[in-house]
Amino acid sequence: MNPLLQLAALQSGDEQALKMLWHDWAGKVQVFARLQLAPCGAEAEALAQEVTADVFLDLWRHPDRFDGRVAFGTWLLTLARNKAVDRLRQRRLGATLQTELSEAAWQALPDDAPTPPEGLARQQRRHGVLDCLRRLGNALQREALMLWALEDMPLADIARLQNTPENTVKTRLFHGRRHLRDCLQQWLGREEGATP
């Protein structure tokens, strides 16, 4: 369903619209936030879950903040990026990280999680690519590559999100793809070598 229609329904308090937006976007937001929070090491996954919850809580509270100047996905990932940067700042300052969602609010969010075997299979399929994305030394290359390849975001939107010229985004994509290709070739070589 069109996210703009879901946002319109959300403005009238339609919880089903939030569930649909969660179903369509939460996974993308969480993966994006996880890559932003990679410097946090083992805590990155939990922090990415918090960022995702915060993004959707803000969406529930203020669906009217989306003004349509950029694509909905660009806006949502910009919100996630800002929240991830805030988490990094809080972590650097040693602040206590707390989730804004109460247990009741967590319970109200949709539970469309895959079964454990499905989740494991999905995780294994994405493991190589995500591992190589995390290994990219340049965070801006990683971000641009993820937005372009995984989110199919236009270069102009990536440039706007990263506050940089489109040619800079093209350069980041060129180098990011080259590093990703090299990493995946090594990763696949290790996987093939591990097969009996």
pLDDT string in tens for the chain (196-residue length): 688 888 888 888 888 988 898 998 999 899 888 888 888 878 888 889 999 999 998 888 888 888 888 888 888 988 898 898 888 877 765 533 334 444 444 455 455 555 666 655 456 556 777 777 777 778 888 888 888 877 778 899 889 888 899 999 999 999 988 988 888 788 767 655 554 4
Q: Please, where are the H alpha helices in the chain?
A: 3-11, 15-36, 44-61, 72-93, 103-108, 116-135, 139-145, 155-162, 166-194
Structure tokens at 3: 């996210």
Alpha-carbon distance 123 to 130, whole Å? Answer: 10
Look at residue 116 in the predicted model and tell me its pLDDT. Answer: 64
Alpha-carbon distance 152 to 154, whole Å? Answer: 6
Alpha-carbon distance 82 to 65, whole Å? Answer: 15
Alpha-carbon distance 161 to 151, whole Å? Answer: 13
Look at residue 165 in the predicted model and tell me its pLDDT. Answer: 94
Alpha-carbon distance 133 to 101, whole Å? Answer: 29
Structure tokens at 10: 């959300």
